Amino acid sequence: MDIQACERELKKRWRYPYTWGRRQNDAFDRQTRFVYGIFAFDEVEAEVRRRFEGQAEFQAYFDYALNRWYNFWSARAVEEIFCAQTGVEPARNQRDRLVDFTLRGIRFDHKSSVFPKQWERGLSASVNHPRALIEWLYRHQSRQQRQHYANRLFLVLYDGAGEHWQLKAEINGLRSVIRDYVAAFDPARLHRFDFGGDEETVSDIIWAIRCGRGGR
């Protein structure tokens, strides 16, 4: 993947507000799977209009499809950045939704997550005490087919002006924080959880923070 081109395409999504209007669900997922095969933003926007314009729920499909496209291609770029680092190996089975890569011998899924507005603690408390936020993210994200408690690295995005979602397009900035995290990675510092499965879950947060325009 051309990382620079990906950043340019992702930033075109900023033309429109980032609105879901509904929880992610399997029914809308089935209707919008085509976004995985279209790299250019203008092309995916045109395809969304072709498929759904004129329908009563056009705006819901429009927002949902563009958000899925944005999140997917950002995640693809982040995964490639991880896999380019020393000590990281890509998943052997590309269809395994629980493993994106292996870091120092530990299998991980990764998840880019905006700082949740439902979360009651501020940025400082969350950075200094991430364990509670990690558990909250496991409990409240990835419902229905996406839910799992396998090892996960959360890339948590925080913008001082509240536009956390925009950081998913700041691919060069994300590359810097990922590179620094992997270079200093220490398995002993991972957070360990028992979610009731057969195996212990290990997890951590990688922070991407843009506070130049305010903060809390």
pLDDT digits (tens, 9 = 90+) for 14-36: 999 999 877 778 888 999 999 99
In the structure, what pLDDT confidence band is assigned to residue 215 with cuts at 50, 70 and 90? very low
Q: Do 171 and 10 meet the contact criterion of CB atoms below 8 Å apart? A: yes
Gyration radius of the chain over CA positions: 17
How many angstroms separate the CA atoms of 48 and 34, rounded? 9
Digit-coded pLDDT (tens) for 138-163: 988 755 455 678 999 999 999 999 99
Q: How far is CA 159 from CA 67, 80, 166, in A?
A: 18, 23, 8
With beta carbons less than 8 A apart as the criterion, state whether 23 and 64 touch: no
Q: How far apart are CA 156 and CA 209, in angstroms?
A: 8
Over the stretch 164-202, which tens digit does the pLDDT of each residue have?
999 999 999 999 999 999 999 999 999 999 987 778 999
* Mean pLDDT value of segment 86-100: 82
pLDDT score of 216: 36
